[in-house]
Amino acid sequence: MKLPIYQWIGQMLAALGVVLSLAFVAYELKLSRDMARADIYQQRTAMEIDINLASLAPETLRSALQLWGNDHSSMTQSERSVVRTYLTVWLTTTENAHYQFELGLLPEEEWLNQRDIAASQARRPCFQRIWGNIQGIYRSSFVEAVDPSIAEAGAVDCLWND
Protein backbone atom coordinates (compact mmCIF):
# COMPACT_ATOMS: atom_id res chain seq x y z
CA MET A 1 0.00 0.00 0.00
CA LYS A 2 2.86 2.38 0.71
CA LEU A 3 4.52 1.79 -2.66
CA PRO A 4 1.82 3.61 -4.71
CA ILE A 5 2.05 6.63 -2.39
CA TYR A 6 5.82 6.76 -2.81
CA GLN A 7 5.43 6.44 -6.57
CA TRP A 8 2.91 9.27 -6.63
CA ILE A 9 5.17 11.51 -4.50
CA GLY A 10 8.12 10.65 -6.76
CA GLN A 11 6.14 11.52 -9.88
CA MET A 12 4.98 14.81 -8.40
CA LEU A 13 8.56 15.73 -7.44
CA ALA A 14 9.77 14.82 -10.93
CA ALA A 15 7.00 16.93 -12.51
CA LEU A 16 7.87 19.83 -10.20
CA GLY A 17 11.53 19.49 -11.20
CA VAL A 18 10.59 19.65 -14.89
CA VAL A 19 8.42 22.75 -14.34
CA LEU A 20 11.18 24.49 -12.34
CA SER A 21 13.81 23.67 -14.95
CA LEU A 22 11.54 24.99 -17.73
CA ALA A 23 10.99 28.19 -15.75
CA PHE A 24 14.75 28.56 -15.33
CA VAL A 25 15.32 28.02 -19.07
CA ALA A 26 12.64 30.64 -19.87
CA TYR A 27 14.33 33.11 -17.52
CA GLU A 28 17.72 32.45 -19.12
CA LEU A 29 16.20 33.01 -22.59
CA LYS A 30 14.76 36.33 -21.41
CA LEU A 31 18.17 37.39 -20.09
CA SER A 32 19.82 36.40 -23.36
CA ARG A 33 17.22 38.35 -25.33
CA ASP A 34 17.72 41.41 -23.12
CA MET A 35 21.49 41.22 -23.57
CA ALA A 36 21.10 40.93 -27.35
CA ARG A 37 18.71 43.90 -27.43
CA ALA A 38 21.09 45.95 -25.31
CA ASP A 39 24.00 45.07 -27.57
CA ILE A 40 22.08 46.02 -30.71
CA TYR A 41 20.91 49.26 -29.08
CA GLN A 42 24.48 50.02 -28.02
CA GLN A 43 25.75 49.47 -31.56
CA ARG A 44 23.02 51.66 -33.04
CA THR A 45 23.77 54.41 -30.53
CA ALA A 46 27.47 54.23 -31.36
CA MET A 47 26.70 54.58 -35.08
CA GLU A 48 24.44 57.59 -34.49
CA ILE A 49 27.09 59.23 -32.34
CA ASP A 50 29.81 58.55 -34.92
CA ILE A 51 27.68 60.13 -37.65
CA ASN A 52 27.02 63.23 -35.55
CA LEU A 53 30.62 63.59 -34.39
CA ALA A 54 31.95 63.22 -37.92
CA SER A 55 30.45 66.61 -38.72
CA LEU A 56 32.23 68.33 -35.83
CA ALA A 57 35.81 69.53 -35.91
CA PRO A 58 37.35 69.50 -32.39
CA GLU A 59 38.34 73.17 -32.52
CA THR A 60 34.90 74.22 -33.73
CA LEU A 61 33.26 72.22 -30.95
CA ARG A 62 35.60 73.61 -28.33
CA SER A 63 35.06 77.24 -29.33
CA ALA A 64 31.27 76.80 -29.63
CA LEU A 65 31.04 75.20 -26.18
CA GLN A 66 33.19 77.96 -24.73
CA LEU A 67 30.93 80.64 -26.21
CA TRP A 68 27.85 78.73 -25.09
CA GLY A 69 29.11 78.85 -21.53
CA ASN A 70 30.26 82.46 -21.57
CA ASP A 71 28.50 84.60 -24.18
CA HIS A 72 25.84 82.59 -25.96
CA SER A 73 24.15 85.70 -27.38
CA SER A 74 27.05 86.32 -29.77
CA MET A 75 27.05 82.80 -31.21
CA THR A 76 26.72 82.37 -34.95
CA GLN A 77 24.16 80.05 -36.50
CA SER A 78 26.95 77.57 -37.22
CA GLU A 79 28.08 77.58 -33.59
CA ARG A 80 24.50 77.08 -32.42
CA SER A 81 24.25 74.11 -34.73
CA VAL A 82 27.42 72.66 -33.22
CA VAL A 83 25.94 73.03 -29.72
CA ARG A 84 22.72 71.30 -30.85
CA THR A 85 24.75 68.44 -32.32
CA TYR A 86 26.80 68.17 -29.13
CA LEU A 87 23.64 68.03 -27.01
CA THR A 88 22.08 65.46 -29.31
CA VAL A 89 25.17 63.25 -28.97
CA TRP A 90 25.29 63.74 -25.22
CA LEU A 91 21.57 63.07 -24.75
CA THR A 92 21.77 59.99 -27.00
CA THR A 93 24.49 58.62 -24.73
CA THR A 94 22.35 59.39 -21.68
CA GLU A 95 19.34 57.74 -23.29
CA ASN A 96 21.42 54.65 -23.98
CA ALA A 97 22.35 54.53 -20.28
CA HIS A 98 18.65 54.75 -19.41
CA TYR A 99 17.85 51.83 -21.70
CA GLN A 100 20.64 49.78 -20.10
CA PHE A 101 19.17 50.68 -16.69
CA GLU A 102 15.67 49.61 -17.76
CA LEU A 103 17.05 46.22 -18.82
CA GLY A 104 18.75 45.82 -15.45
CA LEU A 105 22.24 46.06 -16.95
CA LEU A 106 23.18 49.38 -15.35
CA PRO A 107 23.00 49.92 -11.59
CA GLU A 108 20.42 52.43 -10.38
CA GLU A 109 23.15 54.57 -8.80
CA GLU A 110 24.83 55.06 -12.17
CA TRP A 111 21.55 55.92 -13.88
CA LEU A 112 20.65 58.45 -11.17
CA ASN A 113 24.08 60.01 -11.63
CA GLN A 114 23.42 60.35 -15.39
CA ARG A 115 20.02 61.88 -14.67
CA ASP A 116 21.57 64.40 -12.26
CA ILE A 117 24.14 65.37 -14.91
CA ALA A 118 21.23 65.98 -17.30
CA ALA A 119 19.68 68.29 -14.71
CA SER A 120 22.95 70.20 -14.35
CA GLN A 121 23.24 70.53 -18.15
CA ALA A 122 19.67 71.85 -18.20
CA ARG A 123 20.85 74.94 -16.33
CA ARG A 124 22.93 76.00 -19.33
CA PRO A 125 21.62 78.68 -21.70
CA CYS A 126 19.11 77.51 -24.33
CA PHE A 127 19.18 73.88 -23.16
CA GLN A 128 15.44 73.93 -22.46
CA ARG A 129 14.72 75.23 -25.97
CA ILE A 130 16.95 72.62 -27.60
CA TRP A 131 15.47 69.85 -25.41
CA GLY A 132 11.98 70.93 -26.43
CA ASN A 133 12.95 70.62 -30.09
CA ILE A 134 14.74 67.27 -29.96
CA GLN A 135 13.04 65.28 -27.21
CA GLY A 136 10.76 63.65 -29.78
CA ILE A 137 13.67 61.60 -31.17
CA TYR A 138 14.08 59.70 -27.89
CA ARG A 139 12.10 56.87 -26.34
CA SER A 140 9.13 58.12 -24.31
CA SER A 141 10.30 56.29 -21.17
CA PHE A 142 13.58 58.22 -21.32
CA VAL A 143 11.81 61.54 -21.79
CA GLU A 144 9.52 60.75 -18.85
CA ALA A 145 12.53 59.84 -16.71
CA VAL A 146 14.57 62.99 -17.35
CA ASP A 147 11.91 65.60 -18.11
CA PRO A 148 11.05 66.33 -14.44
CA SER A 149 14.73 66.84 -13.59
CA ILE A 150 15.21 69.10 -16.60
CA ALA A 151 12.09 71.12 -15.79
CA GLU A 152 13.15 71.41 -12.16
CA ALA A 153 16.49 72.86 -13.22
CA GLY A 154 14.66 75.88 -14.55
CA ALA A 155 14.98 77.60 -17.88
CA VAL A 156 17.92 79.89 -18.50
CA ASP A 157 17.26 82.83 -20.77
CA CYS A 158 18.03 82.03 -24.34
CA LEU A 159 19.20 84.99 -26.37
CA TRP A 160 19.22 83.14 -29.67
CA ASN A 161 16.98 84.56 -32.35
CA ASP A 162 15.92 81.25 -33.87
* Contact criterion met (CB below 8 Å) for 138 and 99: no
Is the dihedral angle over the CA atoms 49, 132, 136, 146 positive or is it negative? positive
pTM given for the model? 0.73
Question: One digit per residue, pLDDT tens: the chain, 162 residues?
Answer: 577 888 889 899 999 999 999 998 999 988 888 888 888 888 888 888 887 777 778 888 888 888 887 878 888 888 888 888 888 888 888 999 999 899 888 899 999 998 888 888 888 888 888 888 888 889 999 999 988 888 887 777 777 765
Q: What angle do CA 124, 66, 121 make, to 5 degrees?
A: 25
Identify residue 140 by its one-letter amino acid code: S
